[in-house]
Amino acid sequence: TSMIIASDIAQHALLYLLVTAIYYFLVLLGGQFYTFQWDILLIEAGFLTAVCFAPWQSLHLTTKDTPSVGCWPIRFLLFKLMFMSGIVKIQAECPTWQNLTALEYHFATQCLPGPLAWYAHQLPPFLLRLGVATTFVIEMPATILLIVPWLRIRRIGAWMQIVLQVLIIATGNYNFFNILTMALCIPCMIGEDNSVKKWSRDTSRLGQHLKTIQTVICVLFLAIACKEMFHVEQYMTEEGKQMRWLKLSMTRYDCNNIAEKTLPTIVLFTLLCTFVSGVRLVRKNVTGLTGHASVGFPKAIYAENNPSTDISCISRLRSLSTNDWSWKSKFYWH
């Protein structure tokens, strides 16, 4: 069944439900062998894809038929995954995370290091600690960018997550976990017009200004978050030199407060965005049905019964001679 879905032979929602159910039973029967984080994530992602994203009325998944309302639950799943990944690092109260020195041990102590792990372990401590700080930024404040209603900001947040996952893949082996995480970034790239391959490009001056404003807001938000998360600390080296370096400012108490105040608001905001997208989808379908109802009737007659439409068709119809049978070919069809 997985090969049928992957080869694009059929991508019906029932197939996704079937694959998810089979893997769920494997997790139940596998016990300790199927209790990893990626096993639970695969079940969640498969269920949401089947219910919210995969087609129910066709065998193939197309961007035109994919409702944007189905993207919001998957975006929230990606947000939950990455945000909680950052929260648990701080709640562990491990000195390596607090001092931003975790990468100085990670590459040499991970279960399945990749070919580039040895070279990454030889990097200067400055770059390794900067990598830990960047990881905190991507896994905590940058996850907010994934669930905003503006497409450009969502794409910035999605690309930040993709870059992080690519770096993890290059230095370690974590099964399909990183690839699945990158796949969850796809709904963040989809706008209300369901454009994925051909991203909508607003070349107008106003559109360019709005994109610039959104980028500036994104940069300012991340800068403020970095200021709140880190502080500069002075320390003495073994040689007696005074050095300055970043250190994590957030504590376990701060994380608990952020989780208690932020998560309920984000859940309500996601539900609101889902509801708004659903209303837009219903309006679009109703408008499409109304438009199809007038297909086959002359637009002039349709406009005469609907004053809000173009009146030029009516004047053109009245200008035709009633004895001229060629008027049938001069109708504008709606």
> What is the per-residue pLDDT for 35?
82
For the whole model, what pTM was predicted?
Answer: 0.77
Provide the percentage of residues in the chain whose pLDDT is more than 90. Answer: 33
Average of pLDDT values for 129-150? Answer: 93
Average of pLDDT values for 171-190? Answer: 90
> What is the per-residue pLDDT for 276?
83
Integer Cα distance of 299 and 266 in angstroms: 47
Residue 298 has pLDDT above 50, yes or no: no
**Cα-Cα end-to-end distance for the chain:** 44
Residue 124 has pLDDT above 80, yes or no: yes
> What is the per-residue pLDDT for 1?
54
Integer Cα distance of 134 and 100 in angstroms: 10
Measured CA distances, 32 to 84, 178, 194 (Å) = 22, 21, 40
> Range with the lowest mean pLDDT among 127-141, 204-218, 298-312?
298-312
Average of pLDDT values for 179-195? Answer: 80
The answer to whether 75 and 129 have CB atoms below 8 angstroms apart is no
> What is the per-residue pLDDT for 153?
93
